[in-house]
Chain A
């Protein structure tokens, strides 16, 4: 029996406008998270940008149990592709719909 994967969705606001539809930017963000978390925790978390709301707001998801690590790692990511920015985690929810509440 295949076990259902459980995710946590994180609503993130960035101070600078960054286009996460550009895969390169997403890769650079993941590199910044990997640098802080280490390979073991990063592999367990498996974070991804899953929805771009606008150029300042996006939704990431990660495996359940690792959301706190992602929140902390985002606090230390300050530059993406030469653009200085701050990432503010606004909300964590089990569903994308829950982020909108």
Chain B
């Protein structure tokens, strides 16, 4: 039995493409083969295709030529300033975002990115707490019509996810079917 994963198709017959970001290097598998097996168009690597940085470091690291994802922070002013940098594609947010930050993300057409590893790589009680926060973020972003993305951000091979699983986790976090599929493919437009 030859093992492949067909990309999920949306009802009108268009082929959805899914993308993922992982947070570890040194894996021995061929990235293209792994992407094909798990049902992704491409798997990006943090450190190679994009950087995960704090808001205060965004300006200095923008010169590296890589796309930046900034961590959520309580310092609203720093976040808004960092978002205006063209190298920044969005915020990695797993808890409530400030309303002004969300407005800035919306006006600049950036992403709110969710990390599935907040659910998959934690114990049950932490997972439940993180799930509650993530559902609030998804609900608020869907209400304000912000662009959402989700990735595994797997730190180890065991925490990687197939495209099927990533869509299900997006639904688990409160997205409807259409939003969940678009969340799993959103990174492709930015990276």
Contacts and interface: CB of A to CB of B under 8 A. Distances in A.
B16 to A, nearest CB: 15
Contact of A15 (B6, B119, B157, B171): B157
A89 interface: yes
Given A75-B169, A76-B119, A89 B162 contact: yes
Contact of A92 (B1, B127, B161, B164): B164
B90 interface: no
Q: Is the interface of A mostly helix, strand, loop or mixed?
A: mixed
Interface in B162-185: 162, 164-165, 168-169, 171-172
B164 A89 contact: yes
Band of interface residues on A:
20 to 34
Interface in B116-133: 116, 119-121, 124, 127
Given A71-B164, A72-B168, A99 B157 contact: no
Given A76-B119, A78-B159, A84-B158, A91 B165 contact: no
A43 interface: no
Contacts of A11: 3
Contacts of A53: 1, 3
Interface string A49-72: 000010001000000000010011
Nearest to B1: A100
A13 B169 contact: no
Contact of B3 (A16, A68, A90): A90
Contacts of B165: 71-72, 74-75, 88-89
- Nearest first, the 9 A-B pairs at minimum CB distance are A86-B158, A88-B162, A75-B165, A72-B168, A90-B5, A100-B1, A89-B164, A71-B168, A15-B157
7 contacts: A13-B37, A13-B162, A57-B1, A78-B121, A88-B38, A91-B6, A100-B2
